[in-house]
């Protein structure tokens, strides 16, 4: 299939051997192609998509690569904001609250809640955080950000927001604290006070 994979997208692969470049022993024991891998931020090499694999424990994270031709399904963070399961969990209840508001941007859910909603696997615990993603091709209006933060402060769980710009991603809380952020880009992190600006040589 022809795919456009963005960081945080979940990918299902055709078979177990489609996952390349992973040497961590636990991956061979615990991972199989019925579980998705997540697109990570890196420079594509030889046409391969950079991905990450998550295990059952928090420390079990591994980096690898997949060929686009081996991807059979793609689920974006935006596709997971309508919960179809786990409705009792605080992070899922929080998603229901967020959906009651009209936001001027595309947004989605990542992290353990996104993985649980996409797979049904029991990776959540009662005090899990909610990791959110905001697509921001242009700078956000301050009033909209204030409204978003006000709603987040009333949710039944802790929520963290990652802002995705054309140049990379950054933590909203960091931006609000200092106006400067560590922007995660495909070529590595860089400190900037304008995460929408292209990097100058």
- Which residues are the active-site residues? 129, 131
Backbone φ and ψ for 116, nearest 5 degrees, come out as: -65, -40
- Buried b / exposed e over 124-151, threshold 16 CB at 10 Å, is beeebebbbbbbbeeebeeeebeebeeb
Lookup result for tokens 């470049």: 21
């Amino acid at each position: 299939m022809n795919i456009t994979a963005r960081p945080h997208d979940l990918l299902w692969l055709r078979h177990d051997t489609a996952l390349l470049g992973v040497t961590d022993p636990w991956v061979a024991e615990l991972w199989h192609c019925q579980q998705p891998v997540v697109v990570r931020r890196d420079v594509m090499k030889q046409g391969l998509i950079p991905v990450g694999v998550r295990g059952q424990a928090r420390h079990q994270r591994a980096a690898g690569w997949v060929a686009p031709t081996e991807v059979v399904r793609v689920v974006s963070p935006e596709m997971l904001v309508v919960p179809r399961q786990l409705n009792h969990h605080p992070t899922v209840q929080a998603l229901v609250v967020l959906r009651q508001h009209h936001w001027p941007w595309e947004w989605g859910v990542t992290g353990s809640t996104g993985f649980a909603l996409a797979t049904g696997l029991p990776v959540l615990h009662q005090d899990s955080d909610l990791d959110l993603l905001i697509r921001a091709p242009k700078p956000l209006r301050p009033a909209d950000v204030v409204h978003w933060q006000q709603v987040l402060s009333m949710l039944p769980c802790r929520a963290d927001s990652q802002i995705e710009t054309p140049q990379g991603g950054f933590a909203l809380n960091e931006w609000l604290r200092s106006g400067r952020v560590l922007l995660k880009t495909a070529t590595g992190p860089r400190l900037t006070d304008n995460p929408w600006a292209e990097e100058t040589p």
